[in-house]
Amino acid sequence: MKFSRSKVKYWMTKLLWRHIVGILVAAFALFPLVWMISAAFDVTGQLSTQKLIPTFSGFDNFQSLFSNTEKPYTTWVRNSLVIATAAALLQTSIGALAAYSLSRHKFRGRRVTLTTILIVQMFPQLLAATTLFLIINSLGQTFDFLGLGHQLPLILIFGGAALGVNTWILKSFFDTIPSEIDEAAKIDGASHALIFMKIIVPLATPIFVVIFLLSFIGILNEYLITSVILGLDGPSMTIAVGLQQFIYGSYAKNWGPFTAGALLATTPVLILFIFLQKYLISGLVSGSTKG
């Protein structure tokens, strides 16, 4: 197959650099994952002797991870899934209700409300760590189940953690749904709750999936607030907090079990991506074109 000189010149000057940049970006993004996989199967389990292709490979790190009774990895996984799922559902529900009210109802102070909740989200969680600790500590003195070391207060904190961003995203999506549908339903005697559940929710399912998945991933990987509320030891720890026990003070020796646990921690996210892929793709596309 022959190529004209103009086509070769066009490919060299216009397309080649894009391929090079794409390959470099992909390599930069995949290298930490490849290195983690290599460390997880390196039987030496030490950072100082790790290679990209391990000399001796096996499942020793995984066996050490699950056989360690002092560091209950399966308990951490269960805690993480419970907290991340409950908090992500709460985030999505609160954001959906707030966005529906701000999208469909006209009232005084609506714009101020939208601006305020967005400004509040601009402050990092680090600023609220001490305040949250004091609040939860005070609540725990009256209600034990809302105190430090319990999962419920952490779920409630995460439930409103991304209220501003989620509300803005969902409101932009709800604004694209014709209000005439609501009016027709009202004429038939439907209440706002019925309109939301029977009309808005089915139409907005893709964007709900996107919000839920992003919230789930963020909560699953969160360390700062989780360590403040649950502590650095105890039966309520999550994966992000619990895995630090493997590398605290001796990370070079326990690097293998740590990376094995981190590798397995990606499994829930991959499963969610596989099962929610259809909704995820349509939700991302809708969010980029209907915002």
Rounded mean pLDDT for each run of 10 residues along the chain, 291 residues in total = 64 77 89 86 73 78 84 89 93 89 80 80 78 88 85 89 83 83 82 84 86 89 88 83 78 76 86 77 53 41
pLDDT computed for residue 281 by the predictor: 65
Would you say residue 272 lies in a domain? no
Whether residues 88 and 215 fall in one domain: yes
Residue ending a domain, choose from 19, 40, 62? 62
Task: Identify whether residues 38 and 112 lie together within a single domain.
Answer: no
So what's the pLDDT on residue 78? 92
250 within a domain of the structure (yes/no): no
Please check whether residue 181 lies inside any domain of the structure.
yes
23 and 93 belong to one structural domain: no
- Among 225, 200, 87, residue whose Cα is nearest residue 148: 225
In a domain, 276, yes or no: no
Q: Are 230 and 154 in contact (CB under 8 A)?
A: yes
55 with 173, same domain: the answer is no
- Model pLDDT, residue 69: 80
Distances (CA, A) of 67 to 42, 81, 112: 17, 21, 55
101 and 215 in a single domain? The answer is yes
pLDDT of residue 204: 85
Q: Which two tokens stand for residue 151?
A: 């999962």
Q: Does one domain contain both 167 and 48?
A: no
Query: Do 35 and 53 have their domain in common?
Result: yes
pLDDT score of 289: 44
pLDDT value of position 291: 41
- Could you give the number of structural domains in the chain? 2
Q: Find how far residue 82's CA is from the centre of its chain.
A: 14
User: Two tokens at 80?
Assistant: 């993480």
Say yes or no: 210 and 91 in one domain.
Answer: yes
Kindly state whether residues 128 and 15 are assigned to the same domain.
no
Q: Which of 71, 72, 63 is nearest to 256 (CA)?
A: 63
Domain boundary among 242, 263, 284: 242
**Structural domain of residue 222, as residue ranges?**
72-242
